[in-house]
Amino acid sequence: MRVRKLEQQLSHAVGRRVTAAARVVEARIGLTTAGIGVVGLVAAVFLLARSLSNLGLFMLTYGGVVVVALAYLLARRKLAITTERSDLPSRVRAGQPVTVTLRLTTRKSLSTVIIEERLHERLGSSVKVPVAALSAGEAVVHDYSFTPSLRGVYEVGPLIATWSDPFGLTRRTVVLSKATKLIVHPRTETAQDRVLSREWEDPPVRPPITKPWPSGFEFYGLRDYVSGDDPRRIVWRATARTLDLETGVGRYLVRESEQGITDRVTVLLDTDRGAHSPGDPSETFETAVKVAASVATKHVKDGFTVTMFSNSEQLHRPIRSQRDSIRLLDHLAELTTGNDRLVNGLERILRNPRRDTHMMVITPYLDAQTTARLKLLQDRGISIIIVLVQWEDSDPLTQHRAGQLGCSVVEVSAATPLGGAFRHMVGQGVR
């Protein structure tokens, strides 16, 4: 039984190699599998004719050569085709459908041609449009759509035409339209991780240097209007309740929110290949990128300054505008794992003298060295949130080390909605 199984595996391996070799020959000289078979047969008959000195076999050989040459010439005809591909968006997000329209016009009669739009496997299957017959001046319009399954930088195309001779011995491929670059941004979800001043009200832990953001996000209460307040913050419904109908006197009440401790956010994304789950793509790494993209876009939208690091470098200069956030997503689209450890990224941040920042570390694994560096950052008064990306082989000591630091911890996985996970963290940390 085992011998038979090995024989089947060997035969499959040989078959794959033969198929790959046939594709290489077809790409270089244009001969199909049938054409290769005919050429081999002609060569064998020629050797047999020489050994037997048989004129009839020589004539058969010459006939085979003429057939192959005629087939090759018939397949060399030029196509008078004009192709148009609809404009593609330069950037889309993972999971966003994209619709493409192909329009082909011919100046001469055309038949038995296959038009193919080649796509990356993560964009979908390549699109083939067989054209049985097309008269001069006529056009063919074909719509297709694809949905990127994963972030990355891909190419749509090239658009090629393939046709063969009537005997099927040769095949020719011509590029009709070049490939178009497409950037697929990572998915983003709503994730609110803002650390508020209430978390830092009591000693002994208080940031030595803070730059409070003037308008927080959590409702604190109502107070009387004072000179200098923005009139748009007046709550007219609450003001109406204080109005005395007899005297016409009332109190203007203003909505007040809790202040944040800073308007600067630093995101450190762990890109250590050894820390993440295996596979291509890595489940934990893709989840970590999604968290980083979600947090960055949310903070930029709220008006904060965001700086993002990987283990080896700063991905982008500090950003505060929507245009810069798009460029940051471009970097995240092509980000890959490497050999640098998380502790290297933390040491780079430790060399930064700024302390008025809120920091988020996104990682699936914490070791003793990394925990020690995080403790040093905490001692400087930096607010830290640790996002632990969980998977089936997560190290249980990672949760223990994160808990010992005493900072806010968020546990996420590939199937966890980020909004719920971060709301749970904020509830634990603030209330």
Which pLDDT tens digit goes with each residue over 25-74? 555 666 777 777 888 888 888 888 888 888 888 888 888 888 888 877 77
Cβ neighbours for 175, distance < 8 A, ≥ 6 positions apart: 158, 159, 160
For the ranges 17-21, 263-267, 361-365, 394-398, which has the lowest average pLDDT? Answer: 17-21
Asked whether residue 256 carries a pLDDT value surpassing 70, the answer given is no
User: Is there a cis peptide before residue 364, judged by omega within 30 degrees of 0?
Assistant: no
Asked whether residue 219 carries a pLDDT value surpassing 80, the answer given is no
Tally DSSP H helices, then E strands, for the chain. 10, 17
Q: How confident is the model over 86-143, as pLDDT tens digits?
A: 888 999 999 899 999 998 888 887 777 888 999 988 898 899 888 888 788 888 889 9
CATH of domain 264-430: 3.40.50.410
Q: 353 pLDDT band (50/70/90 cuts)?
A: low
HSE toward the beta carbon, residue 26, CA cutoff 13 A: 20
What whole-number distance in Å separates Cα of residue 71 and Cα of residue 39? 12
HSE toward the beta carbon, residue 375, CA cutoff 13 A: 12
Q: 220 pLDDT band (50/70/90 cuts)?
A: low
Is residue 282 within 8 A of residue 337, CB to CB? The reply is yes
DSSP SS3 for 187 = coil
Model pTM score: 0.73
Name, of 53-62, 309-318, 376-385, the range with top average pLDDT: 309-318
What whole-number distance in Å separates Cα of residue 221 and Cα of residue 5? 74
Asked whether residue 270 carries a pLDDT value surpassing 80, the answer given is yes
Q: 355 pLDDT band (50/70/90 cuts)?
A: low
Q: 155 pLDDT band (50/70/90 cuts)?
A: very high
Residue 234: per-residue pLDDT = 85
Name which residue leads in pLDDT, 353 or 343: 343
For the chain, the structural domain boundaries read 16-74, 81-185, 219-257, 264-430
> Rounded to whole angstroms, what are the CA distances from 371 to 293, 306, 351, 366, 378?
24, 23, 17, 6, 10
Residue 218: per-residue pLDDT = 55
Average pLDDT of the residues in 228-235: 78
For the ranges 261-265, 327-331, 418-422, which has the lowest average pLDDT? Answer: 261-265
Residue 320: per-residue pLDDT = 83
Residue 54: per-residue pLDDT = 83
Tokens standing for 183?
């950037």
Is residue 413 within 8 A of residue 389, CB to CB? The reply is yes
Name which residue leads in pLDDT, 71 or 261: 71
Burial class (CB in 10 A: 0-12, 13-18, 19+), 228: exposed
Residue 153: per-residue pLDDT = 94
What is the percent of the chain with per-residue pLDDT over 90, rounded to a whole number?
26
DSSP SS3 for 188 = coil
Residue 292: per-residue pLDDT = 94
For the ranges 13-17, 202-206, 274-278, which has the lowest average pLDDT? Answer: 202-206
Return the CATH number of 81-185, one of 1.10.3210.10, 2.60.40.10, 3.40.50.1000, 3.20.20.140: 2.60.40.10
216 DSSP 8-state letter: -
Name which residue leads in pLDDT, 338 or 40: 338
Domains 81-185 and 264-430 alike in fold: no
